[in-house]
A and B are shown apart, each in its own frame.
Chain A
Amino acid sequence: MTTQESSPRWHTLAGPRPVRWFLRSARSLLGKKLFFLSLLLVLALLFLAIFAPLVVPYQPLKTSPDEQFLPPSSEHWMGTDQFGRDMFARLVHATRLDLMISFSVVGLALVVGSLLGALSGFIGGKLDDVLMRVVDILQSFPAFILAMGMAAVLGNSIGNVILAIAVAYTPYFVRLTRGEMLRVRRLEYADAARCVGVSPWRTLYYHLLPNSITPSLVQAALALGWAMLDTAGLAFLGLGIRPPTPEWGVMVSEGAKNILSVEWWTWLFPGLAIFIAVFGFNGIADTLRARVMREE
């Protein structure tokens, strides 16, 4: 890593810097073992989620009463569950669903949170006061408990789980982006833009927003992992996604009923899938954060 590369020069006047910064960092991070491993795991899961459901010969919901609790074999790679359903087929379909949910949650929270935070920091005044009070109140609950309460009230559906967890996460992104916005709007290039007559909205959108979003992007990688754990946690409690839908948390909770017998594969594999996915996102977030902190 050369010194030229490591000095951030985002406050020039063009282009969505964070994207380029992200790619540049990713390239120099590839040497790092943890980052590489994490990236590999996430890519493998994405691959599995996209293609595996197309080639797995079993249906995730197809029950076969005479094939209950078969141990893992070449026929059923991860065995079968109490209804004779193929665990591997359920697992890969669940991968698709869980990835979809956590990307939706984080996408929603990131976009809404960052925009609100940027506006709040940029405009200030009454809007800022009101918004920050709302954020304060939402953050006076642990996120999982807030999501739990909302999921309970909204009722069980995939859309409601996404909504409940996204609302619980949005305050983090509001705060992060607002903090950055308060910092960057006082920098020289913001004055420069104003002096040459760039309109405030244009300044906000093209210059300030791209420069205040980096912490939120790092947080987003972390939040992808949280979203998986929280979705699965809610499902384990019986909230949000319900059996027989193939979802990791649902699968662990169905398998947990057989905990005191030999059928360990019914709960081990879906939990392992959660672990691999969350580890992947955490590893990426961890390395990115270390990098951002070093640059600052």
Chain B
Amino acid sequence: MSLGFYLLRRLGLAVITLFGVVVAVFLLTRVLPGNPAYVKAGPYAKPEQIERITAEMGLDKPIPVQFWNYFTDLLHGDMGVSWSTSHPVREDLMQRLPATIELAVAAFVLASLVGLSLGILAAIKPGSAIDQAVHLLSVIGASVALFWLGLMLIYVFYYKLRWVPDPMGRLDVLMEPPAGPTGLLLVDTLVHGEFQQWKSAVGHLVLPTISLAIVLTPTIAKMARAAMLEVLQSDYIQTARAIGLSTARMAWRDALPNAMIPILTTMGIVLAYLMAGNVLVEMLFAWPGIGFYAWGALMSNDFDAIQGFVLLIGILYVFLNLVIDLLYGVIDPRIRLA
């Protein structure tokens, strides 16, 4: 099977899954027992008000009609209007997405570096003290509640040591965030030559990144260890060993590229942790991304906003899993045959 055909087939499957995601988000809010109109109207609403809101939201129409309306609105990019910000939900989300991406990418890169290194170290000498230490660390890392971890970091590094700035938002309160072009502060501040702001942005990024990364690292380390162990036992590595290549060269140059495929296939789990953890971290650090927005929406029963957030996460998750699939289809020709 050609690479092109493989890519097309995966794309087709992703489109079907995306449709499923839209259906699921629709069902989540329309068919589950809670009545959105009640939630929207608030606890003190009179029956007439609820009736009016029900009609406004189109909830008195048959379910298939409601779905058709929801679906066609979505295709036009309409995710409804948030009533706490009174902006269209899509604009709100798009405006906040860069902040989330900046944090998520930083945490993902840090966790991957640390996780891969630890996993490889553990796999080189299975059963050694290093291996056991990595094992214990990964069980510990997988057992910590993210928000509690964040609190401890704030307490120690902000309150006690004052190493980092006020853990609220992305910049010092008095600073005016640079206008564009990417929305990623680390990039934008440099583009505008605002070095002072860049330092502040880095300072604000440190603690949320470390909190998220600590929670992601154990999974990556575990996957890397398992994948590396398998590769290190293969014949060509034994040969490399016999020839007398150094352990470091063998691990990084020969073994790791081959271990990357099994590591990639399980990256979806890490992404799920990243997206879930993101909401908690953004809330804790008042990080103005989509997770913080979702939390605000949850607190004010901002229905369209919650729905839009869950849909966006679903779409992102499907998209990123597609990218992973495509990547290892490109890396490993054998996958395309399956």
Contact = CB atoms under 8 A, between A and B. Distances in A.
Given A133-B20, A152-B298, A283-B139, A259 B318 contact: no
B272 A149 contact: no
A238 interface: yes
A282 B143 contact: yes
B103 to A, nearest CB: 16
Contact of A232 (B135, B145, B159): B145
A73 B136 CA distance: 32
Interface residues of A, number: 46
Interface string B124-157: 0000000000011001101111111001101100
A158 to B, nearest CB: 16
Contact of B298 (A142, A237, A255, A275): A237
Interface string A259-282: 110001001101100110011001
Contacts of B146: 229, 233
A161 to B, nearest CB: 14
B313 A141 contact: yes
Interface in A235-256: 236-239, 249, 252-253, 255-256
B272 to A, nearest CB: 4
Interface residues of B, number: 49
B59 to A, nearest CB: 13
A232 B24 CA distance: 25
Nearest to B29: A153
B280 A279 contact: no
A133 B24 CA distance: 11
A154 interface: yes
Contact of A137 (B23, B36, B147, B276): B23
B244 interface: no
Contact of A136 (B17, B155, B294, B313): B17
A143 interface: yes
B276 A142 contact: yes
A252 B145 contact: yes
Given A233-B146, A233-B280, A278-B143, A140 B21 contact: yes
A203 to B, nearest CB: 31
B208 interface: no
B139 A148 contact: no
Interface in B279-338: 279-280, 283-284, 294-295, 298-299, 306, 310, 313-314, 317-318, 321
B136 A34 contact: yes
Given A236-B280, A283-B139, A149 B151 contact: no
Given A141-B310, A267-B148, A275 B143 contact: yes
Contact of B275 (A138, A142, A237): A142
A144 interface: yes
B21 A141 contact: yes
Nearest to B284: A256
A145 B21 CA distance: 13
A267 B140 contact: no
A112 B302 CA distance: 32
B34 interface: yes
A150 interface: yes
Given A153-B34, A233-B145, A259-B159, A34 B318 contact: no
A153 B32 contact: yes
A79 to B, nearest CB: 15
A225 interface: yes
B8 interface: no
With most chain A CB atoms within 10 A of its CB, the pick from B155, B313, B321 is B313
B148 A238 contact: no
Interface in A193-246: 225, 229, 232-233, 236-239
Contacts of B145: 229, 232-233, 236, 249, 252, 271, 274-275, 278
A16 interface: no
Which of A133, A145, A252, A282 lies at the interface centre, i.e. has the most chain B CB atoms within 10 A of its CB? A145
Q: Which 9 interchain pairs have the tightest Cβ spacing? A: A271-B148, A144-B276, A142-B272, A137-B20, A279-B143, A278-B143, A149-B310, A274-B145, A153-B34
14 contacts: A137-B20, A137-B21, A138-B24, A142-B271, A142-B276, A144-B276, A155-B39, A225-B143, A229-B145, A237-B279, A267-B151, A275-B148, A282-B142, A282-B143
Given A140-B17, A153-B36, A252-B148, 19 more contacts: A136-B20, A140-B317, A141-B313, A141-B314, A142-B275, A150-B28, A150-B32, A154-B34, A155-B34, A225-B142, A225-B143, A233-B145, A237-B279, A237-B295, A237-B298, A249-B147, A256-B151, A279-B139, A279-B140
